[in-house]
Chains A and B, each alone.
Chain A
Amino acid sequence: MTTIDTRPPKLVADGLSIEYQVKRSGERFQAVKDITFEVSPESFTCIVGASGCGKSTFLSAVAGLLPYTGGSLSLDGRLITGPGNDRAVVFQTPALLPWRNVLGNVVYGLELRGTPEAQARVKAQEMIKLVGLAGNENRFPHELSGGMQQRVNLARALAADPELLLLDEPFAALDAITREVMQGELLDIWQKTRKTALFVTHQIDEAVFLADRIVVLSRGPGSVVTAVVDVDFPRPRTDAVRRSPEFLAKVDEVWALIKG
């Protein structure tokens, strides 16, 4: 826990700014003005901020789905210029292909990347088991609950074996109970796979529970990094952590930073 990580950072955002044209009005909109921070390997980083602060926009840029207009963004020392095999996204909505069953959806990412079918299936089965959906391979998305759909979403991203796992408010649409359960399971899975994770959320307690570091963004438009908060509760974290006074103090600290 106290050893200093001497490895080079996984992801580096340096003075990043993102501007895009609003389709209807044609105006330029500056979502993000100046974002600078680093993500160390095998760490769990959360980005929090008020809604409209550009945190999802930032994640889209890391995923390579949205071009950035200034500064630089690099993963393992290589500039990000578009989507790549080194990243996988867990989207806010499950976004599962409704005509494919669970196995077909988890295989999907590997299939798009041209992984041989047999190999992809083995990997997908493994991930389905990891997210606790074993036995549900043949069910269709409409037969699954919201929580189960998000597990498929997660399994699909993990199956692609990315260097960096990007999660865009994946639990925002779930009910409070399912959300807590999923947070715990996500940590278990992360502990096992040790994927570097970048997780966007507007729920501060969620960020404090999950993260090693929290990046707080200022209100948008044109947001900047307000602060970077380290969270050093021991791992593996259990639900007991959530009830501790230290936890609540941390939540308050981040709250104060967001309110500014």
Chain B
Amino acid sequence: MTVKSDESATPKRRSRNPRDAALAWVRRGEWEPVLGVISVTALLVLWQVAAWTGLTNELYSSSPIGIFEAGKEYVTSPDFVTDLSVSGQEFVVGVGIAVLVGIPLGLAMGWYRWVNAMLDPIVTFAYASPRVAIMPLLTIWFGIDKTSKVALVFLMAIFPIVINTSMGVRQIDVALLRVAKSFNASDWKICRTVILPGAVPSIISGLRLAIGVGLIGIVVGEFVAATAGIGHMMQEASGRFQTDLVFVGLFLLAGTGVLLTSLLRRLEKKFEVWRPSLNS
């Protein structure tokens, strides 16, 4: 019985010579994030210098320092807590319902041909249409409170989840299904042991898209009609020509998007220990 041994036994040699160490560091590509820091810093400095020298008008385009000051003031005000909790609730509830409804729906569409035949025209139509356009209607139905925004976030987020999930199901290896069937597995067990785990990578891609469009849903929804929330705050600030504060809202939203996406990336990695990595 010959069993292959691990090939990762060769230890990586690290030189103590600083020049060699630096070269090795460059070769490993660890300096690449530094490039990103440099470019972002350069951009911020340019922006600030342009504002100081009067090249740009701070009233319109603000400046990094101005935004920082406005941000400090805003996050320490009671409005911040209210806005964040309102927008946060709209997002979490809207995306949450989209996940709870979207994943089972996507699984059913991928697995049962008749479910797909029945729902595909609706899903395709809804996915292709600019869903934010329904917001005025949602305002009529649900008022200007959180409910109308939850509805919009839900409608924005559910379709990428449904479409990706059903695509993931359809890509599952038929050979695995044969194995499960040969062991006389019930539909429920096939779903739990083959289909759901097989579709996880697609489901996570769907979630990533859902987060992006969900954030759009909050902002657009609050622009149209709201009494509180980050988007509402930006709209108000814009009316008062508080460019700094508008930028603060923009960065808050972008930061949230980045944070959630990277959390999802972690989740994805956890599910993918079984995948061959590119360099192995």
Contact = CB atoms under 8 A, between A and B. Distances in A.
A48 to B, nearest CB: 22
25 contacts: A65-B182, A83-B181, A85-B184, A87-B182, A91-B178, A91-B179, A93-B175, A95-B175, A95-B178, A97-B194, A98-B275, A99-B274, A108-B193, A112-B180, A112-B185, A112-B193, A132-B1, A133-B3, A135-B3, A140-B273, A142-B274, A142-B276, A156-B179, A160-B183, A185-B1
Contacts of A185: 1
Interface in A107-158: 108-109, 111-113, 132-133, 135-136, 140-143, 145, 148, 156
Given A93-B175, A136-B3, A145-B4, A98 B274 contact: yes
A82 interface: yes
B245 to A, nearest CB: 47
Q: Is the interface of B mostly helix, strand, loop or mixed?
A: helix
Interface string B8-20: 0000000000000
Interface in B144-179: 173, 175-176, 178-179
B182 to A, nearest CB: 5
B66 interface: no
A135 B194 CA distance: 26
A85 B182 CA distance: 9
B interface residue count range (under 10 / 10 to 19 / 20 to 34 / 35 or more): 20 to 34
Q: What 9 pairs across the A-B complex have the smallest Cβ distances?
A: A132-B1, A95-B175, A142-B276, A112-B183, A83-B184, A112-B185, A99-B274, A89-B182, A140-B274
Contacts of A46: none
A101 B193 CA distance: 13
Contacts of B197: 97, 99
B189 A112 contact: yes
Contact of A100 (B178, B183, B185, B274): B274
Nearest to B174: A95
B274 to A, nearest CB: 4
A97 B176 contact: yes
A52 interface: no
A256 to B, nearest CB: 34
Contacts of A145: 4
Contacts of B276: 142-143
Contacts of A112: 180, 183-185, 189, 193
A65 B194 contact: no
A93 B179 CA distance: 10
B182 A97 contact: no
